Each structure stands twice: as C-alpha cells, then as structure tokens.
Chain A
Amino acid sequence: MKNLIQITIIVTIGMFLHSYGYTQESTAKIIINDSLKSAIDLEGVIIIGDSTSSKTEDFKSVEGQRTDEIIEDLQGVNIIRRGNYAAEPTFRGMSSGQLSMTIDGMKIFGACTDKMDPVSSYVSSNNLESITVSSNNNHACQGSNIGGGFDFQTKQAQFNSHKEISGSAGIGYQTNGNGRLADFNVNYGDSAWALNLNANYQKFDNYKAGGGQTIKYTQFEKVNFALSSNWMPSNTEILKAQFIYDDAYNVGYPALPMDVSFAGGRIYSLSYKKYFTNSTLFLKAYGNNITHIMDDTKREFVPMHMDMPGKSDTYGVFAKSEFNIGERHQILINPDYYYNVSFADMKMYPNDPNRPEEPVMYMITWPDVRRHSGSLLIQDRFTINSQTELKYSGKIEYVTSKIFSEFGIQQLEVIGKDGNIPSTYILGNGNAVLTYQMNKSTQLFGQIGYAERQPTVSEGFGYYLFNSMDGYDYIGIPDLRKETALKTSIGFNWQKDKTVLETKIYHYQFQDYIIGIVDSTYDGMTIGSNGVKVYENIPSASISGFEVKLNTTLFKTVRFQNQTQFTYGIDHQNNPLQMIPPLQNASKFGYSYKQVKIQLEAVIAAMQNNPRIDAGETTTPSYGIINISGQAPIKLLQQSTSISVSINNLFDSNYWDHLDWNSIPRPGRSFIVNLRMRF
C-alpha cells in the first residue's frame, strides 16, 4: 500500500515534467526531475505573479548561443557589457548588490572587484536548463536583496531505464571574431541512477563592429564542464551530487583598463530530496571557489602595469520543506546559512627608469572580508478560493561581516574607520502576491513587498576600486546603513488559444539607496582617475517601469512575439540613476515546418537621453538590429543531426547599448553555423 502511494507520487511528478530533446522515445516513461514547478506552463514560460521562469530550450532558436545572450532575451532583463564575455545581468535597472544570483539555489559571489565575473558566467548555455527571474526576493531561497534575483538551473542527470546512454554533441563556427564552439552532453541513466556530463568550449578572437572596425581586447577562451549525478535510494528519495568546473583564459575587457588572464569557478553540491505523502523535504549543502586574475600585460599602452587577483569562497547549507495545512495552505519553510570569504589585492609595478630599485606597490582591495548569514523564510500559499490565491512570505536574515586582514584594517584607518568592528545587519523582508483568476483566460496579480539589503563587499569594504565608467576610485564604508525598498507591481496575463498577453507595471521606492558620491578630500589612486567616490546612503531613489509581452500566431504558421520594456529611475534630487536601459522593443517571428525552423528577430532600443552625467554616462543613440536564424535536420552517420545557420546583425549596424560601458560598439554582422548530433 505504501509503495503504491509512493509510485503514484512519482508518476504524478513525472507527468508534470518535461522530457528533454535527447529523450525522444515515445514510450511512456517516468522521468523524475527536481525542477518541479507547480504553475501554469506556457510555452515553457512560467509566470507566478511578478516572476518569470524560462526554459532555455524554448529560447534557444539558435544552437551555440552564449549564456549572456540568452539572459538578454528575458523580460525586464538587460545586460551590462564591459567586453564580449560574461556580461552582468540587470533587472529593471537594478544590478549587483540589489539582485541575488544563484545557480541551483546556491549563492555564489564573484571574485572580481570590477564585476567582470557575474554568476551567469559559470553556467554554459548548453548546461542551462532554465532561468527564473523573480522580482520577489523571498522567492526560491535567494538572499535578502532589493530587486529580486536570478536563479540559473542547470541540467540534471536523467533517469531513463529504456535508453541508458543518450546525449548530443555540437560544433559551431562564428565568422565575426573567428569564434570556435564545441560542446557535448552525455547522459547515462537507468531507473534509479543517472550521471550527466556536460562540456562546452568557446574561443573567440577580437570581433569587428558594424562597419568593419576591429574592437581590440574582445577575445576570450572558455571551457566549462558540469558533472551531475542522481540516485534514487528509494522510490521517494533523490540524492544528487553536482560539480561545475569553469575556466576562462585571456578574456579581454575593452571597456576596462585591464583584462583577465584567468577566471575560474569550482562549484559543487550535494542535495537530498524526500517526498512524503503531503510534503517534501529538500536539503542542500554546497560550496564554491571562485578565482579571478586581472592583469594588463597584454595591453599596449599602460602607464604602469598592475595585477589584481581576487577570490571568493562560499559555503552554505539550506533546507526547504513544503507541506500543506488543510486544503488551502501550502507552507514553505526555508532556513538558510552561508559563509563567504572575499579577498582581493593589487600589485603595481613602477617603471621609472631613474629608480630601477623602486619596489612593487601593494594594497588590498577586498580585505579578507568574512561574512556569515543566517536566515529563515516562511511562505504561505493560501488558496482563498478557486479563483484567488494569496502568496505571502516573511524573511528575517542576520548578516555579519568582519575584516580578517590586519593590513586591511590598517588601510581603513587611513579613511578614519575602525575595521575591527564587525558590520552587522538584521534584514527583514516581506512580500505578498495576490493572484486572481478572473476568468478562464485572464489572470490579474498585485504584489507588494518590503525589502532590505546589506551593502556588498565592495560597498562596505572596497578600497580604491577603480570604475572605468566614471573614472573614479571607489571606497567602501563599513558602517553604511542598509538599503531598503518598498515595491509594488500589478499586472495581468491574458491567454486564449495560442495567444498570450502579459503586462506588468512596477514601482520601487528606495530609502538609503547606496551610491558612490564624489568626496574631494580624497585623492584618486589610479593613474588618471578623476578622484574618489565614497559609497553613501542617499535619502531616496525610485525606479518604475512597465513590461508588455505578446505571444501569438500570425497567418496560422508564424509565431510572433513582441516584448516591450521601459524603466525610469531617479534619485532624491530627481537626477537619473545610472545604468537605466531606455525603452526597448524586440519582435520575433518564428516559422516552423516539420523540423525546419526559421526565426527573424528585430530589436529596437530608443535613445537614452537621460544619462547620469556624474556616473560617466552619456546619451546613447537609438539603434535597431535584425537577426535571422534557421535550423534544419540532416541525416548524417545514421544519427539525428541538425544544422543551424544564423546571421546576427544582418545590416552590419554600428551600435551599442546604453548599458555597454564606455560605448564600446557591439559586434557587426556575423554568420554562425552549428552542427549538432543527438544520440
């Protein structure tokens, strides 16, 4: 009897889940996959209030796309580009400390004081299963933050008793930048045990901007391996282990004075999930070690060579338990703990021929900051009636950070701060989303939340961190106040047949917004810097905007998607905030016949004439680009093989986005060919 219940549970769960491209068998099978989302699955896009989860399969019309290119397609998301590699995602004009970034729920903090290594860079596109973007910071065990966050879910090993070995392999070439791409995925799975190995390799030279100008320092080389293993010791339990190995070499950052000789991530976890009749329990322990080495030895003209290594180690554990109370309440309890160590330093090599004996200069930019965070999140998904659901949650977090470098403490004395005192924050977060199913096709939602965040390591402890956007050196302040925000959003989703319309309006009202303010009592450290900015809390700021997305069918055979987003941000003196994207519109036309797919994409961005001047921003002209791609199956070596060809930036426009640092033009026209075999 008990077994029967368990089997039923598993079958039910299996029914909810997608099977993936490489499990093409038509015979019914049970696929247990952990990324269970009890929500409306809409063409792979899941919407729960003000959050979106996208299966990458649905976005990847083109094989061989890079992770940051996939992210950029998501609603409300823009990327800050400093080079051709690892762009930093922003959501509704918020970035870094205001967003939490996790991979499979694991907290990872970059090791780069210049934000060259966003968390997304450690997941290769062919290992990315889905991305959840949520404006609700309490959602899905993310850290306390203001703007919500991204969770990147990676591919998991698949149980499959009918076909034990399956996988795919692809090679690609991109003309602009001489890009060479290769990847493969092998899955071994039986009914209780599964192992998945994923690999991805990319190498790019400098690309040419529209018009033919070569953009120096846009090269990079990257290799990523991911190994995951699932084991079902019993019908109701899954044990999972995961290891991601990511290395990038010789990565150019044209918008910065330095490049990266090496960036590496080692990410590992062990998790356990148990299904009970009416509840689930999930436990996860993880760790990650991120290394980042910046240098400028490949640059032609530098006043003085420097190298800046950084490291970030994070270890954490969390649990999630979901259970029902009565018919109407689904409770989630999520205790979470993590520990992070951030260290970065800097050596400057003097080159005065008259003083050959002059020693190397040394300073610490992140002074061995060790941060402990413990939090508890409780959420109730309350089904008020068949049409109305209220999801409300509260989270309390205690974070304490302390400097462990004596040298770093001494450095802080210079700016008049006592680095011996730990900086401690108690952060409270609350959120409520009301969703109302007006009728079969219309769903309304309203969300209100209050959020608090602690300063980032750079904002709290950074020491003369050069920002090449505004040309200032930044100094962090250990006793900054926490940043807080009141956030609201409302929207509706309308769905009929194959047409979906999604609209959201949002507003974030910040208090004690953290921003760098010029302090002329300090002298810039970096050669040629404009001076020093010190992180401060300004009394208030706000960000508001809207997102509209339409997904429909034209002429019966063409899928059409149009996505519009707009963000507006001002500080307490009504000056524009920095890194706020302009009005953007993206249209996609997709045609598919049998297994042939053709897609046309048009992206338009309005001019941004509202720059934050003192952040080094300038107005950005509007731009429009067109991308075309097509994919068709071919028969090769008795295997299922497909070829895809695409042209990016068809008209070879010379353009850059407002969020591209120092207005470095993006790639011009590029032809991409990709050959993929599945087995």
Chain B
Amino acid sequence: MKNFKYITFLLFAIAAFTLGSCKKETTDPPTPVDPFENLTYIGETQAVGAGAIAKIYAEEALFVGYNRIYVALYDSANPQTQLTDGHVTFNPMMDMGMMQHSCPFEDPSTTVEPNTKAFKGSIVFIMPTTPTGSWTLNVNVHNHAINKMGVASLAINVVEKAEPKLISFVSDFDSKKLFVTLIEPTEPKVGINDITFGIYEKQSMMSFPAVDGYMMEMEPEMPSMGHGSPNNVNPVSKGNGMYTGAVNFTMTGYWKINLDFKTSSGDTIKLDQFFDVTFQ
C-alpha cells in the first residue's frame, strides 16, 4: 500500500512534467550545384553562321512584363563546351499577320554571369502569345572565338500572368504611349521589400526606349481591409528606365500598389494606376 502511494505520487509528478512540449529540429537538405537549377529552360537553337548553339533560360516561363533572359552559348562542333567569349543582342518580334512589332528590351552585357557563364539581358513582353500572334526571339550571336556572327531564332510562348506585371497608358501630359512593369519584388514578403519598376515609351512598332526622370508616388493598400502600410519609399529614377523604392507589407494577402506618375516638374502624366500583388 505504501509503495503504491509513492509510485502514484511519482507517476503523477512525472506526468505533469512531461506535459511540457518538446520540439524536434529538422535540417535542410544541402543546396544544389547545377547553375541552371533555379532557372527555367525556354529552348535552344543553332545560331546559324556563328558556329554556336544558344540555350535560352529565364527565371520562370516567359510572361507579359519584365523577364530576365539568360543565353548560354555552346560550341556547335563541341556541344559540351560553353562559350564565354562573345557578344549577344536581342531582337524579339511578334508576328500578328497584318503587322509586326517588337517590345522593350535590354541587350545582355558583353561579359557572362559568373555563376551560369551565360549572357544576361532582359525583355519586357507587352502582350501574350495568342492564336493570331506569335513571338519569335531572335538572338544575334557574335562568337569571338572564331569571329563569326549569326542569328538564333526561337519560337517562344509568352503568357499573361493572372496578376499582370505590366500596365500601359497614354500620358495626360504629352500623349506618349507608356509601358510600366513591376520588376521587383518577385517574391514579396511581409516586411520591407525593395520595389523596382521599369518605364518604357512606345516610339514606333520597333522602338521602345526606356524613360528616365519621372516622379512616382506610391501607396500600398489592402483593399479588403482598407488599410495601407507605413514607411514606404517612393520609387526614384535610377537610369535605364529603372525606378527603385521600398514597399512595406504588414501582412500577407492581397495588396494593391497605387501609383501616380508625374514629370520631374510635377505635371501629371497619369493618376490612379495600380498593380495587384498577392502573396501568402
């Protein structure tokens, strides 16, 4: 009887103390080594005349908006050998039957990326591939190793994202046709996010130069709750059509980033434009 009591007592005490939760920790698997692991393969083709194969990668499937494009060159005779001495330019074209047009883009730098050894540039697709309109990505390749030039032409598919990354409007100030892309954040998070916009002007069907020197006023808003967020930094022009600032999200969910555009002297270009940003 006496023993029984002591045992009960101890069991009770032990039970009480083991109620505290214990946590197990897990470790992440080691990071991959393939330099193209995090990129999306778009396609590859011969750069006819340059003795090179161009493999095209992007950060995700091509979409309407600002796409970073990676061109990795390989020796056509020796497809294992990546070519790093060269020079690549873009010429994206949309064929709509009756007419053709291009879009804003930035040619890759003449030096390759350290990690992928690819040439990196960007293209701002202004419309998606449709049954009546198809995109072709023409890549001009100058292979320095043999000092030959050629063109790689690849049919590509461009999709419209559910949450568009591109808006266009006509300037109230000077009637310019303008395109604005939301470039960053690609992975929005709660907290401070660097935000980057690109602004381009449509001068002709083939010419879409970057526009610098505008003023942007930005206000994030959570429409379903009717609140904004504090301490945002309005994007400012950084050259090459890029505008960078900071946007703050206080919670996850659906945010609307309201934008007003003005000239450097304060004339209104366009008010009440917005991008939707949803993240979880």
Interface positions of A (Cβ within 8 A of B) = 193, 195, 227, 229, 231, 239, 241-243, 266, 268-270, 285, 287, 289, 304, 313, 315, 346, 348, 350-352, 355, 358-363, 407, 409-416, 463-464, 521-527
Whether B81 sits at the interface, judged by CB under 8 Å, is no
Is the Cβ of A361 less than 8 Å from the Cβ of B16? no
Query: If A193-B5, A352-B224 touch, does A415 touch B190 (CB 8 Å cutoff)?
Result: no
Is the Cβ of A521 less than 8 Å from the Cβ of B16? no
Looking at the complex, which one of B20, B225, B230, B248 makes contact with A287 (CB distance below 8 Å)? Answer: B20
On chain B, the number of residues with a Cβ less than 8 Å from chain A's Cβ atoms is 35
Is the Cβ of B17 less than 8 Å from the Cβ of A270? yes
Whether B280 sits at the interface, judged by CB under 8 Å, is yes
A360 to B279, CA, bound (A): 9
Is the Cβ of B12 less than 8 Å from the Cβ of A229? yes
Residue of A nearest to B253 (CB): A361
Distance between A372 CB and nearest chain B CB, rounded to angstroms: 16
Task: Give the chain B neighbours of A241 by CB distance below 8 A.
Answer: 9, 12-13, 16
Is the Cβ of A361 less than 8 Å from the Cβ of B190? no
Task: Give the chain A neighbours of B226 by CB distance below 8 A.
Answer: 527
Residue of B nearest to A528 (CB): B226
Looking at the complex, which one of B192, B249, B254 makes contact with A358 (CB distance below 8 Å)? Answer: B254
Looking at the complex, which one of B16, B222, B230, B252 makes contact with A243 (CB distance below 8 Å)? Answer: B16
Residue of A nearest to B15 (CB): A243
Distance between A66 CB and nearest chain B CB, rounded to angstroms: 26
Between B19, B192, B230, B251, the greatest number of chain A beta carbons within 10 A of the residue's beta carbon is seen for B251
Report B47-77 CB contacts with A as 1/0, cut-off 8 Å. Answer: 0000000000000000000000000000000
Query: If A193-B5, A361-B225, A407-B190 touch, does A521 touch B20 (CB 8 Å cutoff)?
Result: no
Residue of B nearest to A464 (CB): B250
Distance between B248 CB and nearest chain A CB, rounded to angstroms: 4
Is the Cβ of B231 less than 8 Å from the Cβ of A360? no
Whether B228 sits at the interface, judged by CB under 8 Å, is yes
Report B210-223 CB contacts with A as 1/0, cut-off 8 Å. Answer: 00000000000011
Residue of B nearest to A529 (CB): B227
Is the Cβ of A243 less than 8 Å from the Cβ of B12? yes
Task: Give the chain A neighbours of B190 by CB distance below 8 A.
Answer: 362-363, 407, 410-411, 414
Is the Cβ of B12 less than 8 Å from the Cβ of A361? no
Q: List 24 A-B contacts (CB under 8 A).
A: A229-B9, A269-B16, A270-B13, A287-B17, A287-B19, A287-B20, A289-B19, A304-B224, A304-B225, A313-B20, A315-B20, A348-B224, A350-B224, A350-B253, A355-B254, A358-B278, A361-B253, A363-B250, A409-B191, A413-B191, A413-B248, A521-B230, A524-B227, A525-B225
A317 to B117, CA, bound (A): 59
Between B6, B189, B254, the greatest number of chain A beta carbons within 10 A of the residue's beta carbon is seen for B254
A588 to B253, CA, bound (A): 57
A503 to B125, CA, bound (A): 82
Is the Cβ of A522 less than 8 Å from the Cβ of B230? yes
Q: A348-B224, A350-B253 are in contact. List 16 more A-B contacts (CB 8 A).
A: A195-B8, A227-B12, A229-B8, A241-B13, A348-B253, A358-B253, A407-B191, A410-B190, A414-B190, A414-B191, A414-B192, A415-B231, A464-B250, A521-B230, A521-B231, A527-B226
Is the Cβ of A359 less than 8 Å from the Cβ of B253? yes
Is the Cβ of A525 less than 8 Å from the Cβ of B12? no
Task: Give the chain B neighbours of A266 by CB distance below 8 A.
Answer: 19
Query: If A227-B12, A358-B224, A410-B190 touch, does A350 touch B254 (CB 8 Å cutoff)?
Result: yes
Distance between B103 CB and nearest chain A CB, rounded to angstroms: 28
A32 to B278, CA, bound (A): 64
Compute the total of residue contacts between A and B using a CB distance below 8 Å.
Answer: 126
Is the Cβ of B252 less than 8 Å from the Cβ of A361? yes
Between B228, B253, B278, the greatest number of chain A beta carbons within 10 A of the residue's beta carbon is seen for B253
A227 to B12, CA, bound (A): 9
Distance between A671 CB and nearest chain B CB, rounded to angstroms: 40
Task: Give the chain A neighbours of B12 by CB distance below 8 A.
Answer: 227, 229, 241, 243
Query: If A270-B16, A313-B21, A525-B227 touch, does A410 touch B191 (CB 8 Å cutoff)?
Result: yes
Is the Cβ of A410 less than 8 Å from the Cβ of B192? yes
A236 to B226, CA, bound (A): 66
Residue of B nearest to A311 (CB): B21
Is the Cβ of B224 less than 8 Å from the Cβ of A362? no
Query: If A241-B16, A287-B20, A410-B190 touch, does A363 touch B227 (CB 8 Å cutoff)?
Result: no
A89 to B202, CA, bound (A): 68
A242 to B20, CA, bound (A): 14
A315 to B20, CA, bound (A): 9
A464 to B191, CA, bound (A): 14
A415 to B8, CA, bound (A): 53
Looking at the complex, which one of B16, B225, B248 makes contact with A348 (CB distance below 8 Å)? Answer: B225
Is the Cβ of B251 less than 8 Å from the Cβ of A363? yes
Between A268, A270, A363, A414, the greatest number of chain B beta carbons within 10 A of the residue's beta carbon is seen for A414
Task: Give the chain A neighbours of B228 by CB distance below 8 A.
Answer: 523
Whether B207 sits at the interface, judged by CB under 8 Å, is no
Report B225-268 CB contacts with A as 1/0, cut-off 8 Å. Answer: 11111110000000000000000111111100000000000000
Query: If A229-B12, A360-B253 touch, does A411 touch B191 (CB 8 Å cutoff)?
Result: yes
Looking at the complex, which one of A239, A304, A414 makes contact with B248 (CB distance below 8 Å)? Answer: A414
Top 7 nearest A-B pairs by Cβ distance?
A: A410-B191, A361-B253, A268-B16, A363-B251, A241-B13, A350-B224, A414-B248
Task: Give the chain A neighbours of B248 by CB distance below 8 A.
Answer: 413-414
Distance between B247 CB and nearest chain A CB, rounded to angstroms: 10
Residue of A nearest to B252 (CB): A362
Is the Cβ of A414 less than 8 Å from the Cβ of B13? no
Query: If A270-B16, A362-B253 touch, does A231 touch B231 (CB 8 Å cutoff)?
Result: no
Task: Give the chain B neighbours of A522 by CB distance below 8 A.
Answer: 230
Task: Give the chain B neighbours of A463 by CB distance below 8 A.
Answer: 250
Which B residues, 91 to 106, have Cβ-Cβ distances below 8 Å to chain A? none
Task: Give the chain B neighbours of A313 by CB distance below 8 A.
Answer: 20-21
A48 to B169, CA, bound (A): 78
Task: Give the chain B neighbours of A407 by CB distance below 8 A.
Answer: 190-191
Query: If A415-B231, A525-B227 touch, does A231 touch B251 (CB 8 Å cutoff)?
Result: no
Is the Cβ of B20 less than 8 Å from the Cβ of A410? no
A315 to B249, CA, bound (A): 35
Looking at the complex, which one of A193, A243, A268, A414 makes contact with B250 (CB distance below 8 Å)? Answer: A414
Task: Give the chain B neighbours of A239 by CB distance below 8 A.
Answer: 9
A501 to B223, CA, bound (A): 62
Is the Cβ of A525 less than 8 Å from the Cβ of B17? no
Query: If A193-B9, A231-B6, A359-B278 touch, does A414 touch B229 (CB 8 Å cutoff)?
Result: yes
Task: Give the chain B neighbours of A289 by CB distance below 8 A.
Answer: 19-21
Task: Give the chain A neighbours of B229 by CB distance below 8 A.
Answer: 414, 523
Residue of B nearest to A269 (CB): B16
A268 to B14, CA, bound (A): 10
A350 to B224, CA, bound (A): 6
A645 to B245, CA, bound (A): 70
